[in-house]
Each structure stands twice: as structure tokens, then as C-alpha cells.
Amino acid sequence: MSTDDESFHPLGQEWEDELETMLDDTEYDSDLGMEMAKDAMRVTKGELSEADFHEKYHEDVMDEFGVDDRPTEEAYEEAKKNAGGFAEMLKSFDGDGDESRRDVMKKMGVGAAAVGLGAWGTAEGGQPNVADESGGHSSEAHREGDTQWGMAIDLERCDGCLSCVVACGEENNLDQGVNWMYVLDYEDAGADTSRNRLVRPCQHCTDAPCEKVCPTTARHTRDKDGLVLTDYDVCIGCRYCQVACPYGVNYFQWDEPDVSTEEIAEANDGEGDMMVDDRGRWVDSRSPRGTMSKCTMCPSRQDGFSGEEKVGTSACEDACPPDAIQFGNMRDENSDPQRYIENPSRGRALRDLGDKETTAPSLNAIEEDIADADADLASVLEASEDLDEETLRTMKAIEIVTEDFGEGDADSVDYEVHISDIFDLLEEHGLDLDSQEVLVELDLADEPDEGEEFDGADEGDAQDAIDDYDGRPSSSFKLLEDVGTNPNVVYFGNEPGPNAEQVEGPSAYADISYERADGSEPNLVDNRKEEVLDEGTVGDAGVSL
């Protein structure tokens, strides 16, 4: 940054020129913009007060834009209290979140916002995001976009069957012992040890240490959806990512992988080959020799190569019998994981009562059972084998607490639809589930006092009913959150403490096999070093440091 150019901006004349060009592209007044930008800089230096700045340009801004949404001094103070500071204020200018930052800046057309605020960030110790210019390798704290794939995992529903580990090995043709997905039981002081279990995929951290330390950008975050991936064509195999990861989710390819790329491509002759993603980078399936691999959260699925219905799913999620894994977009409040996070006991009950493939009451059976029954609640419940009072109460309770019941594109909406179908069936039969009589009988509403009108279902009662049905999780947590990685996996259940130590689980890795593209069906391996790697060591001394 030279001191002798005439730039007012700390990033120099070149940056300033670029912004001016950007402003010129807009329909708004570039001169005003640049003028405001200069003064914005003065504000950052303390030469001009925020209030004065606001006042000075209020009229001009009104003339130019017809609106001045710039925050007032009070709003500025408020924004300063939030960590976002001026970045938050930026949003008030525009932005429905769909546009790129550049578009937003163009639309704003306000130099003050574009240049001045950028300068503000710099003056406050932020740095220009060099990584953004590289394309593809972005420092995650700055990643924009609507999608961040992640998971909510209900540890209390996991039965330790290792189906997810198998599914992952099959989907990605992994070598033995390369457990991208890993499930373990552990002992811990104090806690109820019967429910101490951890499901451990890669956490796809927003601030991933593995990405930060990578000397090549092979380990990178995909801009469009926040997946932390390894470019197998770039990785030099220094293993620094494995060293820096606090969770131990990385697996190096120490020798030639068991399944060849030809075999993988042959087995996946659909739209994609399960290896190259939609940017043309080789990031999926097992890694080639001499490079690092880890759980990818199935980019080929997310890119639509495995069919539209597989977008927003992962192999482990699909395979989980008790539906303990909710995969989806962590930035969408209507995604499966976010709905689960918002109300985990609802998520549990919904799955048990809505999944017609497994545990939910059957529509046909109910229809047959109640065909000859009367239309009152007691008769219907008595006639139907699948429906009892608790089941129906919980189903109704789920509807009561759920906004936009049966709508949306999350996987769990199918469950809601199934429950909705059962309700329709009952309504057709003549049972009004929203009537005072039925709701009160199901303990989902209070009888109105004398002279008062019935005010419908009680959400508190509904939530209680749901909580009673499958129980509330003991706690929710993110793994090693204090390390500052910002993981994108949220857990429900017991959090392992610092003294937690793995013990044998209900299913032994060695007893379970998985099938790969080359037709081989090896067993799962837990300790890769002893069972696989030591065989290749030249002069294995059988001792350890």
C-alpha cells in the first residue's frame, strides 16, 4: 500500500478505481458515491462523526435514491454491539440474500456503502479477503450463499448398528479401516453410560483448521454449498490437514486403493462418475494413492448426479434405520436438520408416526378397521388396531406445533403428509379432529370456562404430548465447539467429556462386511494401523514409541 498515491482508501488507488468503475456501471451518481466514500473514510479516522456524515448526505441520498435506509446513529450504536458491526448495517441497504455481494454493491450504488464500508472494515482490523480473488478457495467466515450442508444427529436414537459406516464404505468404495463415518460407544464419568454413543462424520467446519493449514488449497470449501472437500488432483499428501483436524476424521491413502477408478466409473455410469463434481474437480469417492481423504457429505448427490431425489441426502442418512441422521441445508430453517434442531422431540415423534415404511400406522389398515365404526373418537380408537389414543394425540400434537404442516421439500414432510392423509381419512369418516370435544378428550385443549369461547388447541399441551411420546434429548451440542471450528453438525444426546474413552459397541466392526464396486466384500476394520497398515511396513518391529 503506497503512501504517495492520492487514494483515500487504505487498500490504495487500484482498489478505489475498481470500485469507481463499478459505480459507473450503475444508474446512480458515481461522484456522489465517491464523495460519500471519502467522508466515510474520515468517519473511520474519527475526523467526522457518524451523525454528521448522515446529516450531510441525507438530502442527496433522498434525491438520488428516493430513500435513505442508512441507519441512524442509534442503529449504528446497536450494530456495534453486535459482532457484525458495519457488515450488519450493509444489509440494511439492500439484499434479499439472493444476490452476490457485487450485485448488492452495484445496486446500492452508494460509494459510501461500497467503498467507505469496505474501508471501515479495513480500518477496524479486518483484511481484504485475498482468498476470494482466487476463486474456489474461500476463507469460510466470508462465504456467502444460501446453502451450507450439514447434519443434525440424534445420538439417543442411534442403535450402533453401523449401517451408516457400511453405506459410506459402499458409496465411496473405501479401503478397509477408512471410516469416513465412524460410530463409537464410550465410557464417561458420571453420565448415564447406557446412552453414551457418538456418530462421527466430518464436521464440515465453517472455520476448518484443515483448510487453513493446507499448503496447496487442495483442501477447500466449496463456495456454493460449504462442503469441505479435497481436490485429489492437487493434494501433495503432506498430511498437515490430518494433523490440524481436532476430530481425527482424515484418512490418508498410504498405498494403492483397493478399488480402481475404472471400476468406480463403471459402477456409476449415470450422469456423474461419483468422482468428479459439477465444477469438474475430483473430490468424491476414495482418494488415490498418496493423498488425503475424509467424509465428503456426498457431493455427487448434492450436484444431482445421483438423481434429483438424492439431492439433499447422504448415503449414511439414507441407510440409518432409526433415522438418527438428518442431512440438509443448515441455512434453511425448513430443512430437515433445522426442523429437528428447532424441536427435536417433534422430529422423533414425527418419524415414528409418519414413516409408513417402518413404524407409522398404516392408512389402509385404519381404513379397513374403522369402516363399520361409529364416528366418535372412542369408537374409532377402539376399532383401529394401529391407532390408540396416545398415537392419535401425538399425531395431532405434531400438526398443532408445526407451521406449514405438510408443506416444503424436506424429507420429513413426507411423514407429515402421511399423518395428514390419516387425518383426512378420519375427517371423511366423520371425526372432526379440530372440534372441542375431540381436542379436549385428547388432552390437547382445555375446556373453556363458563361463558368463554373455545379457543382451540393449546400448543403447550401439544408440545407436552410430543415430549412424552419419544422423550426430549438430554442435551444438544456441537463437538469441541470451544476450539472455534464452527462445525456444521449438531448433536442431540450426551456430550462426551474430556475423560470419555471408547468402549466396545453393540456391533463389532469386524463382524460386518460391505460391498464395493469391484465385487469385493471385505469386513469393516476399526484399527487400520494394526489390521491393515502394519502389513505394508518395511521391518515392522512390533514395538512402539
Contacts (CB under 8 A) with other proteins, residues 187-216: 198, 209, 211-216
Q: How far is the CB of 399 from other proteins (least distance, A)?
A: 40
Cα 110–chain centre separation: 34
User: Phi and psi for 194 in degrees, rounded to 5?
Assistant: -65, -20
Tell me which residues in 215-234 interact with other proteins (CB under 8 A).
215-218, 234
Q: How far is the CB of 344 from other proteins (least distance, A)?
A: 23
User: Phi and psi for 542 in degrees, rounded to 5?
Assistant: 75, 5
- Single out the segment in contact with other proteins by CB under 8 A; choices: 140-148, 371-379, 440-448, 499-507: 499-507
Q: Which is nearer to other proteins, 48 or 483 (CB)?
A: 483
Q: Which of 75, 87, 191, 238 is close enough to bind other proteins by CB under 8 A?
A: 238
Q: Which is nearer to other proteins, 95 or 290 (CB)?
A: 290
Tell me which residues in 264-283 interact with other proteins (CB under 8 A).
none
Kindly give the pairing relationship between strand 489-492 and strand 325-329: unpaired
Q: Are 67 and 143 in contact (CB under 8 A)?
A: no
Q: How far is the CB of 26 from other proteins (least distance, A)?
A: 30
Q: Does residue number 423 form part of the binding site for other proteins (CB under 8 A)? A: no
Q: Does residue number 533 form part of the binding site for other proteins (CB under 8 A)? A: yes
Number of residues lying near other proteins (CB under 8 A): 73
Tell me which residues in 154-183 interact with other proteins (CB under 8 A).
177, 179, 182
- Read off the C-alpha cell for 368: 379397513
Q: Are 107 and 94 in contact (CB under 8 A)?
A: yes
Q: Which is nearer to other proteins, 175 or 318 (CB)?
A: 175
* Residues with Cβ within 8 Å of residue 169, at least 6 apart in sequence: 178, 179, 180, 514, 516, 524
- Read off the C-alpha cell for 250: 482424515
Q: Does residue number 311 form part of the binding site for other proteins (CB under 8 A)? A: no
Q: What is d(CA 425, CA 265) in angstroms, rounded to the nearest whole number?
A: 47
Q: Which of 75, 311, 480, 512 is close enough to bind other proteins by CB under 8 A?
A: 480
What residues pair up with 503 in beta bridges, in sequence order? 185
Q: Does residue number 475 form part of the binding site for other proteins (CB under 8 A)? A: no
What one-character DSSP code corresponds to residue 437?
A: H
What one-character DSSP code corresponds to residue 491?
A: E
Distance set, CA 429 to CA 261, 339, 425 (Å) = 58, 31, 6
Q: Which is nearer to other proteins, 519 or 536 (CB)?
A: 536
What residues pair up with 229 in beta bridges, in sequence order? 220
Q: Does residue number 512 form part of the binding site for other proteins (CB under 8 A)? A: no
Give the residue among 252, 238, 245 at the shortest CA–CA distance from 286: 252
Q: What is d(CA 342, CA 476) in angstroms, rounded to the nearest whole number?
A: 11
- Count Cα neighbours of 530 within 13 Å in the Cβ-side half-sphere: 6
Q: Does residue number 536 form part of the binding site for other proteins (CB under 8 A)? A: yes
Q: Does residue number 14 form part of the binding site for other proteins (CB under 8 A)? A: no
Q: What is d(CA 479, CA 246) in angstroms, rounded to the nearest whole number?
A: 10
Tell me which residues in 91-150 interact with other proteins (CB under 8 A).
130-131, 134, 137, 139
Q: How far is the CB of 273 from other proteins (least distance, A)?
A: 21
Q: Which is nearer to other proteins, 179 or 343 (CB)?
A: 179
Q: Which is nearer to other proteins, 253 or 463 (CB)?
A: 253
Q: Which of 496, 514, 516, 517 is close enough to bind other proteins by CB under 8 A?
A: 496
Q: Which of 483, 507, 518, 523 is close enough to bind other proteins by CB under 8 A?
A: 483
Q: Which of 148, 250, 306, 494 is close enough to bind other proteins by CB under 8 A?
A: 250
- Cα dihedral across residues 346, 351, 356, 362: positive or negative: negative
